[in-house]
């Protein structure tokens, strides 16, 4: 009765639609996936309980470790090149005195383009012939032609380049919004001391954005670990499985057979990936808790 008098019942009534929607569209599929990972099923014939056999099948698949290695390589390249690019662009745009809105719109424009359209457009640009768009441009300065998507050593960096271009705009906007919250008095103080742009960034901008930087880092790690669109549309995991990622392997388990896929193995690998990312996120947030608040 105390809980009701304090408004608990009315709070529950307001929460009920949200709980129903989340339960039906999120929690129920998660629970169904856990059940399906313990079954042998193609969603056509009757499922049979196999216990942990799907997990053993996935772990014994040699393609799993190829996919894990490729996904880690994609994540490493994306962090090395894709993580600092939005920050550099945001800081540069914050220093511009005029037309900030135009530059912000241009930075966000790739995000507006439908991802499939962007990938197919870049696929044309990546034509490996000397008359391809990128090879023609590089040929003007005496470089190339490069194989891009047709070579195992070039394919993954090519995917990372397009993914960075496509996703950087959203992070740029986040950084620009965070930069507006940095007290201008701090910049005025270091300018009085004769500090240049680099010292302003190192001693003022980066410490003030530390919490945002830590959040965007773990979000990028989670996002790159679930990369699917680029390897699927660009190379379909090739050449020679050099761009096969974990999510693309899940797709192959589920839809690789026209007569009905192995959904048990697909959900088993999905749960393994989800568990890994959950543990990684928990450890990361625990280790960086003091850095983001101090």
Rounded Cα–Cα distance for residues 184 and 180 (Å): 9
Nearest to 248 by CA among 231, 235, 261: 231
0.75 exceeded by the pTM?
Answer: yes
Q: How confident is the model at residue 287 (pLDDT cuts 50, 70, 90)?
A: confident
Contact 41, 48 (CB under 8 A): yes
The pLDDT of residue 293 is 59
In this predicted model, what pLDDT tens digit does every residue of 86-137 receive, in sequence order?
888 888 888 777 887 888 888 888 888 999 999 999 999 999 888 889 999 9
pLDDT at 3 over 90: no
- Domain borders along the chain are 62-288
- Cα–Cα separations (whole angstroms), residue 172 to 15, 18, 112, 169, 227: 34, 31, 14, 5, 20
Mean pLDDT calculated for residue range 200-207: 78
Direct distance between the N- and C-terminal alpha carbons of the chain, in angstroms, rounded to an integer: 42
State the CATH class of domain 62-288.
Answer: mainly alpha
Looking at every residue in the chain, the average pLDDT score rounds to 87
The pLDDT of residue 289 is 81
* SS3 at position 259: coil
């Amino acid at each position: 009765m105390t809980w009701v008098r304090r408004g608990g019942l009315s709070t529950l009534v307001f929460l009920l639609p949200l709980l129903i929607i989340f339960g039906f569209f999120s929690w129920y599929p998660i629970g169904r996936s856990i059940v399906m990972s313990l079954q042998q099923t193609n969603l056509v014939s009757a499922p049979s309980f196999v216990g942990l056999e799907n997990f053993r099948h996935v772990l014994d698949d040699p393609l799993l470790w190829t996919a894990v290695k490729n996904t880690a390589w994609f994540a490493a390249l994306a962090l090395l090149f894709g993580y600092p690019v939005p920050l550099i662009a945001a800081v540069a745009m914050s220093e511009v005195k005029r037309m900030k809105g135009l530059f912000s719109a241009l930075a966000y424009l790739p995000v507006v383009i439908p991802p499939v359209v962007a990938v197919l457009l870049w696929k044309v640009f990546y034509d490996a012939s000397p008359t391809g768009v990128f090879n023609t441009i590089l040929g003007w300065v005496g470089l190339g032609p490069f194989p891009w998507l047709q070579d195992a050593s070039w394919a993954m960096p090519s995917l990372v380049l397009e993914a960075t271009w496509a996703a950087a705009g959203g992070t740029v906007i986040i950084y620009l919004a965070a930069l507006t919250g940095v007290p201008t008095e701090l910049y005025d103080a270091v300018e009085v001391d004769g500090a240049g742009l680099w010292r302003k960034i190192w001693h003022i901008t980066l410490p003030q954005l530390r919490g945002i930087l830590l959040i965007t880092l773990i979000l990028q790690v989670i996002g790159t670990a679930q990369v699917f669109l680029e390897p699927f549309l660009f190379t379909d995991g090739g050449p020679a499985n050099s761009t096969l990622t974990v999510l693309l392997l899940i797709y192959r388990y589920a839809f690789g057979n026209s007569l009905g896929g192995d959904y048990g193995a697909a959900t088993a690998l999905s749960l393994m990936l989800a568990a890994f990312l959950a543990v990684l996120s928990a450890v990361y947030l625990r280790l960086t808790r003091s850095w983001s608040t101090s």
